[in-house]
Amino acid sequence: MATFTAAASAKPMAMPVIENSQMNMSLKKFDGMRVTPSFGKKKEFSGLKLKSSHSVKMTLATDVSRFEGVAMAPPDPILGVSEAFKADTNALKLNLGVGAYRTEDLQPYVLNVVKKAENLMLQKGENKEYLPIEGLAAFNKATAELLLGADNVAIKQGRVATVQGLSGTGSLRLAAAFIQRYFPGEKVLISSPTWGNHKNIFNDAGVPWSEYRYYDPKTVGLDFEGMIADIKAAPDGSFILLHGCAHNPTGIDPTLEQWAKIADVIQEKKQTAFFDVAYQGFASGSLDEDAASVRLFVDRGMEIFVAQSYSKNLGLYSERIGAINAVCASPDTANRVKSQLKRLARPMYSNPPVHGARIVANVVGDPVMFNEWNAEMELMAGRIKGVRQRLYDNISAKDKSGKDWSFILKQIGMFSFTGLNKAQSDNMTNKWHVYMTKDGRISLAGLSLAKCEYLADAIVDSYYNVS
Amino acid sequence: MNSSSSNCFPGQEEAERRLESLARHLGTMAGDRGNRDGSVDFEATAGGFGNSAFEKLQQAPEDPILGVTVAYNKDPSPVKLNLGVGAYRTEEGRPLVLSVVRQAEEALIQDRSRYKEYLPITGLAEFNKLSAKLILGSDSPAIQESRVATVQCLSGTGSLRVGAEFLSKHYSQRIIYIPVPTWGNHPKIFNLGGLSVQTYRYYDPSTRGLDYQGMLEDLSAAPSGAIVLLHACAHNPTGVDPTQEQWQGIRQLVRQKGLLPFFDSAYQGFASGNLDADAYSVRLFVADGGECLIAQSYAKNMGLYGERVGALSIICRTENVAKRVESQLKLVIRPMYSSPPIHGATIVATILGDRNLNYNWTLELKSMADRIISMRHQLYDALKARGTPGDWTHIIKQIGMFTFTGLNKDQVSFMTSEYHVYMTSDGRISMAGLSSRTVPHLADGIHAAVTRIS
């Protein structure tokens, strides 16, 4: 009795081919069974007479996709939220999923300096030639100086290798690929919790990772002791992923004193700090203040990686502009590291996109535009602080239980970690049409003063009436 | 982890360890940065701190193709000629931004209703639709039957890389066959994408044409289901393409052996000047209802090099499979760069979606292709005029941006050092980098190389 492999098998089979064009049928025996094809315009084969106890209507092996076994992937936990929001027809719906800045009118926002820069670029009529693998030189210079300060010793000594990357994600991925290749087996430690895509990046790059304690639900603050202990417990030489400012998703940042202690441990353990800086300027409104943690490490002479993104602070989300920086012990090392980063970028996308890089270089390179940018950034950060205050006031007014909601004011940046669990977050969406991520994170950038009260109602309801 | 201390006072061990590590970082181990009394001067230690985590790292060599431009830029010679990278140059030797691109870009930037919000992971939907139509033909049954999963990617490289990663995760065969020779970046893309690389014969140096029999033999010997990289047109670096009959033979064999074709289409419209003619091979395969992957690039045909615009299409058996495939492509893209860049894709979608712009584009494309063909003839004539030994007809037979001159490594080196002509070491020259003014110099160089170096 011949067996028949199900058409839904994941393993593709050697497929006999019927030459339709020449009307030349080559019938092949398939697992001992005779195939009786039907002629017609389409090469469709219906019915297969099986000499077995069950008669099964199946398509011929030729019609089975090689990708039949590919499962439907779940929607991205963060980006998928926006998709679900779009599909919702309710008038009260609120999208607090993705960290994309909205005005008080809940409209997307293109910074004025960006429009100016683009018009300038149009006037200049620049060409669209390939950038070098490492990206636009003017951008690389500007981005390192923004991060570390133009007068930074490490820059002056040529110890900073900067390679333009595809926003934060792409820059993180380049560094991850570098770690996998040159430090195989070395672990990256990521905070618990952290941005959902971090683990995907390290997984796909083949870099093992583990978590260090970070968020303390009891205090809705930083579990500093736990963090230090876990970093100490990690092997020497590990990479420690740190959020430079405005930790995502919690909004809880270490103080400067705590940063110093973190640096102590990392130095002691000969680990390498790996900063993710996605909100420089956006957290406090000040570029320098938000870079204090990174600069502290660099000033100590430590070697670090820093991934930067201009998605939020310049509103260049879809232009995909960022950079990976390696601050090294010597200029020679920096050159070698840069050459190896280039070697990893070339088989990924060859060279990075020019448009966003030119915008940044133009804005940063012109003192008038640079000042205007700072002002716009302060406005954006200011609006978010204002919304935090209003939300806090509204919730406090509605919640008479005495629960301390002040963490909303203490948290920094675009997001607030509400402390809502998955079921409560689901309630926010299902009952109140408030879209957020399942970890209880809301994007304040997507909240208007006008909607704070509605959100307060939703949060209070979800927190107390759902468990 | 408890730091148990059996020392004099709590924390002493800790403090000593810290000081020790600090001292190390301050370079005392490097030898002469510390003073004899044990103190360390701050100035002497700022920067250049002893042990680097990256100490063992080697300097990577320059990329063999992009490195040619790096070397060219360093050369001070007034007669230098860059025939390395395949970037189109005008007769005046300048880069070209197409008029339709400028128009589209201007409209885009002046449009006040435009935002810079994240694109979906799969990219700009309109761009994806139009790209699929461009390569497959607007009447393609695969499109009508919704069997095409298209995702916007970073030009050709990005499309190939995403395709490779997808296949390495979801396809049962992890071997890809690539032609000899092929674009230098291909094996690296596939290796890093998780595939192993095998080769099939392609270029026949004795005929300077296609080794068709060798190609069929090697593909016949491939394991069933193996992936096969096919250059859709204007093979890079040789410029040697199969004829239509040969494509039919290749298709038959590929389907017979159950191989999975992966097309690299970087020159549609650029090779012959006709978009449909240059898509012949791809459409032939898709017409038989079988599956394939297609990487498209707009770097050359729209001159959008630095904007990194391209698309990966996976033609599937059924709509249902295509949906699932698309969902998995998103999982490859998200940890690589989250979502693709908007600017170039919007320019492409604007042009392809507007009848006038589209038509004007085809005219500009044809004139670029025609200029290249004219360069081919001029170079051939110049070599004949000089009586350069050898058969140079391959210059006019080969298709696309490049000519595989047949020069060996030594001759290439000679051309660079003596004539300041820059090309890749395999003897590939970019015709797009030539002009009527520079053809004589190139011909002189080739003549000298061929007569003086063997």
Asked if residue B191 is part of any domain, the answer here is yes
Q: Which parts of chain B sit beneath pLDDT 70?
A: 1-50
What is the biggest distance separating any 2 CA atoms in chain B, rounded to whole angstroms? 93
> Which amino acid belongs to residue A354?
V
- Say yes or no: A361 and A382 in one domain: no
Report CB contact under 8 Å: B224, A14. yes
Which residues does chain A have within 8 Å of residue B335's beta carbon, measured at their own beta carbons?
169, 173, 197, 200-201, 203-205
Locate A217 and state its tokens: 């639900």
Q: Do B441 and B337 share a structural domain?
A: no
Say yes or no: B85 and B124 in one domain.
no
Beta bridge partners of A324: A163, A307
- State the Cα–Cα distance between residues B377 and A179, nearest whole angstrom: 50
pLDDT of residue A188 exceeding 70, the answer is yes
CB-based contact, A13 to chain B, within 8 Å: yes
User: So what's the pLDDT on residue A60?
Assistant: 41
Contacts of A63 in chain B (CB under 8 A): 317
Give the separation between CA A240 and CA A222, rounded to whole angstroms: 16
Containing structural domain, residue A415? 77-110+372-465
Assess B224–A contact: CB distance below 8 Å, yes or no. yes
d(CA B270, CA B134): 13
Pairwise CA distance, residues B297 & B400, whole Å = 14
User: Does A425 fall in a domain?
Assistant: yes
Domain that residue B286 falls in:
118-353
- Residue B54 has its nearest CB partner, among A64, A69, A328, at A328
Partner-chain contact B87 A11, CB within 8 Å: no
H or E stretch covering B7: none
Structure tokens of A357?
């890089």
The type of residue at B77 is S
Residues A159 and A200 in one domain: yes
- Does the structure show a pLDDT above 70 at A13? no
**Cα–Cα dist B318/A443, whole Å:** 39
Q: What's the pLDDT at B17?
A: 55
pLDDT tens digits, B6-42: 434 555 555 555 555 454 444 443 344 444 554 544 3
- Asked if the Cβ–Cβ distance from A66 to B291 is below 8 Å, we say yes
Residues of A340-350 as b/e, b for ≥16 C-beta within 10 angstroms?
bbbbbbbbbbb
pLDDT of A58 over the 90 cut? no
Place of tokens 């199946």: A58
Alpha-carbon gap: B61 to the closest alpha carbon of chain A (Å): 7
Are A304 and A223 in a shared domain? yes
Indicate the pTM of the whole model. Answer: 0.87
Which residue, among B269, B306, B340, has the nearest Cα to B121 in the 3D structure?
B340
- Return the residue in B224, B333, B337, B351 with the most chain A beta carbons within 10 A, the one to mutate for interface testing: B337
- Given a cut of 80, whether residue A16 has pLDDT beyond it is no
B340 and B294 together in one domain? yes
- Claim to verify: residue B171 and residue B213 sit in the same structural domain: yes
Q: Which of A195, A209, A373, A405 is catalytic?
A: A195
Whether residues A67 and B189 touch (CB distance < 8 A) is answered with no
Same domain? For A359 and A384 the reply is no
| CA gap A425, A439 in Å, rounded | 8
CATH number for the domain spanning A444: value is: 3.90.1150.10
CB A424 within 8 A of CB A440: yes
What CATH number corresponds to the domain at position B447? Answer: 3.90.1150.10
Residues A310 and A379 in one domain: no
Please check whether residue B262 touches A, CB under 8 A: no
Tell me how many domains chain A contains. 2
The answer to whether residues B288 and B319 belong to one domain is yes
Helices B212-220 and B244-256, axial angle in degrees (round to 10):
10
- Chain A segment 98-117 residues within 8 A of B by beta carbon are 98, 100, 108-110, 114
B273 and B410 assigned to the same domain:
no
- Say if CB B190 and CB B179 are below 8 A apart: no
Annotation marks residue A141 as catalytic: no
Interface test with chain A among B118, B326, B351, by most A beta carbons within 10 Å: B118
Measured from the Cβ of residue B125, the count of other Cβ atoms closer than 10 Å reads: 14
Domain stop point among B325, B353, B381:
B353
d(CA B154, CA B337): 10
| Residue in chain A nearest B120 by alpha carbon | A79
Residues A217 and A184 in one domain: yes
B308 touches chain A (CB under 8 A): yes
State the Cα–Cα distance between residues B68 and B80, nearest whole angstrom. 12
Quick one: pLDDT at residue B18? 54
Q: Does any domain span residue A55? A: no
* Tokens, residue A458: 């939703």
Q: Is A124 a catalytic residue?
A: no
pLDDT top residue among A26 and B355: B355
Tens of pLDDT along A265-285? Answer: 999 999 999 999 999 998 999
Whether B255 is covered by a domain: the verdict is yes
A326 and A292 in a common domain: yes
> Which pLDDT does position B283 carry in this prediction?
98
pLDDT for A147 equals 98
How many domains would you assign to chain B?
A: 2
Residues B300 and B431 in one domain: no
For position A167, which CATH number holds? 3.40.640.10
Is the Cβ–Cβ distance between A320 and A310 less than 8 Å? no
Q: How confident is the model at residue A49 (pLDDT cuts 50, 70, 90)?
A: very low
Kindly state whether residues B128 and B79 are assigned to the same domain.
no
Q: How far apart are the C-alpha atoms of A449 and A455, rounded to whole Å?
A: 10
Burial A412-436 (b: 16+ CB within 10 A, else e): bbbbbbbbbbeebbebbbeebbbbb
pLDDT at A393: 97
Angle between helices A167-182 and A331-349 (to 10 degrees): 110
From the CA atom positions of chain A, what is the Rg in Å? 27
What is each CA distance from B88 to B227, B371, B380, B432, in whole angstroms?
31, 10, 20, 5
B219 lies in the same domain as B267: yes
Q: What is the pLDDT of residue B41?
A: 40
Pairing mode, if any, of strands A239-243 and A272-277? parallel
Residue B274, domain CATH: 3.40.640.10
Cα B250 → chain centroid: 24
